[in-house]
Amino acid sequence: MPTEPEVSLKKLSRIQKNTNQHWVGNGFPVRTLFSYSTLGPMISPFLLFDYAGPMEFSPTEQRHGVGEHPHRGFETVTIVYSGEVEHRDSSGGGGKIGPGDVQWMTAASGLVHEEFHSRDFARRGGLLEMVQLWVNLPAKDKMSPPHYQSILDSQIPVIDLPDNQGKVRVIAGEFDGIAGPARTFTPIDVWDLRLTGNQPIDLAVPDGYNTLLAVLKGSVRVNGSEIIDTAEVGLFERAGDHIRIGSAPDTTALLLCGEPIDEPIAGSGPFVMNTAEEIRQAMTDYQSGKMGKIT
């Protein structure tokens, strides 16, 4: 009888967490679960992961969020689990996203944008829970024109896992031959996992890629040993072509996997480039109005 091919499990190298919460503007209570400033090559092509909420907001007529601010050199990916967010930017992109929706904003050569709770959500109040992921761009693409992708929940493929173990929403990349709608500059998988079972699941991920598992609700046991709890991120070694997840009833997690961009990183606030000189130029360009205005 034919035997199943043996899988090579990526080893879990560390579990990253941050219990300190800070406010972005007056609308987003955030825990930064990982950042390039400390982890650099271990998380490339990803740069930063902010987990906002979950937090209840009272009804208000005030605007809650963060006003105009610039970005250059990377992309922001906002995934909403609860609540609604409105976005506008100087490239003409914008819209409202709610539960299950994704906003993929390519800042690239530079833009100015703002993010607020939607007016309807602010007036009725409720639970806000969302993630914002920063994705790096290779040097050759950092000065590309800005771009905006609004990805609705209805546009994201949902794949059932075997044996009623849960579902996978494919935001970017591929899962089991099914491609997600997000267009990316480098090979990236972003999978929104909704897990419901206790049996181990082997997920195929490319050998040589950086792989991260962020648990937003519940907990998971990886590779039969370590446990990743709520608001923690597991970082895996590059070698290996699978990760094994088990003991994960009623768990929500994001799996991030990408081909590393092994280039220098220079960052300051809202700008991420390759050299300090490029950062200084970004500041000058923003101050002189070259990143545009929101109209």
Tens of pLDDT, residues 17-39: 999 999 999 999 999 999 999 99
Q: Is 113 annotated among the ligand-binding residues?
A: yes
Q: Is 232 annotated among the ligand-binding residues?
A: no
pLDDT reported for residue 6: 77
What are the domain boundaries of the chain? 12-258
* Residue 1 predicted with pLDDT over 80: no
pLDDT reported for residue 273: 98
- The domain made up of 12-258 has a fold known as Jelly Rolls (2.60.120)
Tens of pLDDT, residues 145-181: 999 999 999 999 999 999 899 999 999 999 999 999 9
pLDDT reported for residue 248: 80
Q: Report the C-alpha gap between 153 and 151 in whole angstroms.
A: 7
> How far apart, in Å, are the Cα atoms of 177 and each of 67, 173, 210, 251?
40, 9, 20, 24
Mean pLDDT of the chain: 95
Q: Is 117 annotated among the ligand-binding residues?
A: no
CA proximity to 10, closest of 203, 177, 193: 203
pLDDT reported for residue 53: 93
Tens of pLDDT, residues 241-293: 999 998 888 999 999 999 999 999 999 999 999 999 999 999 999 999 999 99
